[in-house]
Amino acid sequence: MQIRENHNIKALNTFGLSAHARYFCSLHKLGGLRSIMQWADTYPELPVMFLGGGSNMLFVKDFPGLLVHVRLQDREILGQDDDYFYVRAAAGENWHEFVRWTVDQNLAGLENLSLIPGTVGAAPMQNIGAYGVELKDCFYELQALDWRSGEIREFSLEACRFGYRDSYFKSVEPGRWLIVSVVFRLPRKPEWKTDYAGVKERLVGKVLNARVISDAIISIRQSKLPDPARLGNAGSFFKNPLIPLAQWESLKVQFPTISGWPQGNKIKTSAGWLIDQCGWKGKREGDAGTYDKHALVLVNHGSASGEQIWDFAQSIIASVQDSFGITLEPEPRVIL
């Protein structure tokens, strides 16, 4: 185990922001946890945070505690029953590479989640989703280590309390649990999710299977979203807001092109559309800006600081609130 002090994590967050962790270490094997925890016990007031691919983080400030970079690697098919295949992946596995591996094994269920940046361990934290599918739809269970006791516990679908870009690990007890592996339940007889705008059109005339759909999703994402290796970003920066039906109906009268999808007793509307209507698409203030092809994506044009990105985001939030009476919520975890 090597604990580094004042470690620059610019290469470990997809915004490409120059930020520092007071203490930093990498976790390659579960066996290394004991020594890390023993070291952390000598600093009981020190905050601890676990980092995967850094694709859902905004470091406005330096992190004042111990940052553990989770790099656990492993993936395997556990078995099958009459309805499902069961597949396990370690938390440090690259999410997209894992999805493509399942496709290579002729397994279906995760193809709509292709090309989402990040790691397997971070995926349930956020209950990632795209093109009509969420992680919870194929989730079976996960294993997580309790940082307080050192014990590993299994969490069922119900125990994870998945919500829209939310989970027990993100909202209820952030920082307590280190996800070490995730088990997915993939259907033997998949029902393809291809009705999402843009997906259906790309699949016209094609025989559907997981690879064909995955390839289409990859193509769509590459056409709409910037590559973090070339332009720093964290993907969609704001959640699509859920608003009361009455509010949406009132907005529909004023803005006939506003979109909406029923979610229980509320309506989900497009954050990207709201931002675009306020004139923010492609706008830039210094090196902080929005992507010119997708208003929902905030970008670092080169040397923006986390504080500049955050100030830019706050300006967008205020603009949407003034125009529509809707308060946008950030999707990434923000370190203030």
Q: Which are the catalytic amino acids?
A: 165, 236, 331
Task: Please report, as a single letter, which amino acid is at residue 73.
Answer: Q
Tell me if residue 188 falls in helix, strand or coil: coil
Query: Please, which residues bridge with residue 38 across strands?
Result: none
| Beta carbons within 8 Å of 48's beta carbon, 6+ residues apart | 40, 65, 66, 68, 147, 175
Tell me the residue ranges of DSSP E strands in the chain. Answer: 4-8, 20-27, 48-51, 57-59, 63-70, 75-80, 84-90, 129-130, 133-134, 139-146, 152-156, 177-187, 232-236, 242-244, 261-263, 266-268, 284-285, 288-291, 294-300, 333-335
User: In a 3-state reduction of DSSP, which class is residue 173?
Assistant: coil
User: Which amino acid belongs to residue 252?
Assistant: K
Beta-carbon-side half-sphere exposure of residue 208 (alpha carbons within 13 Å) = 19
Please name the helix (run of DSSP H) or strand (run of DSSP E) that holds residue 220, with its range, or none.
helix 210-224
Q: How many CA atoms lie within 13 A of 215 on its CB side?
A: 10
**Rounded distance between C-alpha atoms, residue 192 and residue 253, angstroms:** 34
For the beta carbon of residue 263, count every other beta carbon within 10 angstroms.
Answer: 13
Structure tokens at 166: 């939310």
CA–CA gap between residue 28 and residue 37 (Å, rounded):
14
